[in-house]
Amino acid sequence: MQITFLGTSSGVPTRSRNVSSVALRLPQRAEMWLFDCGEGTQHQILRSDLKISQLSRIFITHLHGDHIFGLMGLLATCGLAGNTKKIDVYGPPKLDEYLRACSRYSSTHLAYSIQVHTVQPGVVYEDDEFTVTCERLEHRVTTFGYRIAEKDRPGRFDVEKAKALAIPPGRIYGQLKRGETVTLLDGRTVNGTELCGSPEIGRKIAYCTDTIYCDNAVVLAQDADVLIHEATFSHQDAELAFQRLHSTSTMAAQTALAAQAKLLIMTHFSPRYAPGNAIGLKDLLQEARAIFPSTETAYDFMTYEVPRRREAELAEASR
């Protein structure tokens, strides 16, 4: 699970930051999922190591322009490339209406299937490996945050122990590795969980933007390996945050702390904190770390590979 930030500015792009979009790359499936798609997102993808041809799902939080103005252009490019079979798009009510209007007025006809899913709180997508859920956030328009949860995997299968029990190799090993109970030809019953190590806990990512501090963001981020949360304003500009229903750096940190997340990555920064201004992003980072030390600030093209729990624990133990 590899996260790439394609746009980390709020409202408008700057010279160094594009507007909102985050890619989640799943190399084992040769897939890319996109969260929000601000103007210029496809240009950002072209400047990265990501492949548009691997795009399979797009999750939209809300219909403000800095989160959707790049969507129709990206979908059109996928059609012209000719190697896209289907893209599923998830988002709030009227997203389907918006895309149909864009297609109609620009005379854009896509040569592949697009299915738009209007989301409601709860599960919005599930397969054998992942579950994606959403919850309502607190913003000026209908907005959803998303949680991507990798399903737990059976522990490592002990082949030597299986051999010592004279269990013949083959399809039976696969069944035992999945934790199933198998009856052997000689009548013995073997419980696969006894031949496997502890289950491997699945990784979890939460994506919360745009929102002021709210309980649902904490729900989405519960025990997350990574919480991606907007921090549009400094704590010193909290009044602006309340007026516009955005988060400060300290609100993002409080969300991570309440949810017991492993790592907070802040994004969606107001251009008012660009280099040279009285308050900079280093100040926002300092504010957040005073509450939640495991905090980082995102920048365009920043990539973070989410470690498996076992790998993270071993790395922590070696320090």
Catalytic residue among 36, 49, 66, 225: 66
pLDDT by 10s per residue, the chain, length 319: 999 999 999 999 999 999 999 999 999 999 999 999 999 999 999 999 999 999 999 999 999 999 999 999 999 999 887 778 999 999 999 999 999 999 999 999 998 999 999 999 999 999 999 999 999 999 999 999 999 999 998 788 888 888 888 888 888 888 888 778 999 888 899 998 888 888 889 999 999 999 999 999 999 999 999 999 999 999 999 999 999 999 999 999 999 999 999 999 999 999 999 998 999 999 999 999 999 999 999 999 999 999 987 666 656 656 6
Q: Two tokens at 120? A: 């409601």
Residues of 191-216 as b/e, b for ≥16 C-beta within 10 angstroms?
ebeebbeeebbbbbbbbbbbbbbbeb
According to DSSP, the residues that pair with 21 across neighbouring strands are 7
Predicted confidence at residue 318, as pLDDT, reads 60
Check if 66 is active-site: yes
As annotated, the binding site includes 62, 64, 66-67, 139, 210, 268
Q: Which residue in the block uniquely carries the two structure tokens 């997508």?
A: 125
Top-level CATH class of 2-153+203-318? alpha beta
Domain boundaries, the chain: 2-153+203-318, 159-195
Q: How much is the pTM?
A: 0.89
Q: How far is CA 130 from CA 82, 125, 133, 197, 261, in A?
A: 28, 8, 10, 22, 19
As annotated, the binding site for Zn(2+) includes 62, 64, 66-67, 139, 210, 268
Q: Two tokens at 208? A: 């919360």
